[in-house]
Amino acid sequence: MNTKSGNPVSGFDGTRLADFFSRLPQVSGPDQVCVPARSGVLSELNDAIVAVPDWVGGAGLAVFPTEAGDYCYALCCEPRASRAGDVGPVFAIHGGAGRSLAGQAILDLPRGMWSIRTVDHASGKTVALETARGSPIVCGLFSPGGPVVLLLRRVSD
C-alpha cells in the first residue's frame, strides 16, 4: 500500500494485525487500558495512515475494544529490512546505548486529545509517551530498532 503521503509500505491485513498482537508480550502499567478484549475484533483502518517515517517497511492501523470497556487504536510498525550502514542515531535505550529509529506518523483519526504510548514489540515496555490534539494526529514514531506498537486512546474531545 502507499500511505496518503505516497510512502510505499507493506499494509497489514486483519490476519497479520491479529498475529502481530498475539506475539506482543503482556503489557503492564498504564498500557493495560489498551489491552484488546479477549472477545474483541480488530478492525483494520489502514486508509487512515496518512504518513509514516521512511524506516517503516510494514504497518497496519486497527481499532479494537479493550478489557476496560473502551476502545483504542493501534499502529503496528515493522522496520524495513536493514541495509549496510542504514541505521538511525544513537540513543540511550533502557539504560544502555543502541541504534534506534525515529520520525513522525500522521493518522487521520477523530478530533480530540489523544494519549499515545509507543511499546516495544519484543519486550512489551513503553519506549515513548506523548499526547496530541486535533485531527489529523501528528505523533512521534520511535523504535529501539525492531517492531513497535503505538497505542492511541482518546482522553477528551
The per-residue pLDDT for range 86-145, each reduced to its tens digit, is: 444 433 333 344 457 788 999 999 999 999 989 888 888 888 899 999 899 999 998 888
Confidence at residue 54, expressed as pLDDT on a 0 to 100 scale: 86
Residues 26/124, Cβ–Cβ less than 8 Å:
yes
Q: For residue 66, give the C-alpha cell.
A: 479493550
Confidence at residue 28, expressed as pLDDT on a 0 to 100 scale: 53
Within 46-100, strands assigned E span 49-51, 56-65, 71-79, 90-93, 96-99
**Helical residues (DSSP H) of the chain, grouped into ranges:** 14-22
Percent of the chain predicted with pLDDT > 90: 18
Buried/exposed 103-120: b ≥16 CB within 10 Å, e otherwise: eebbbebeeeebbbbbbb
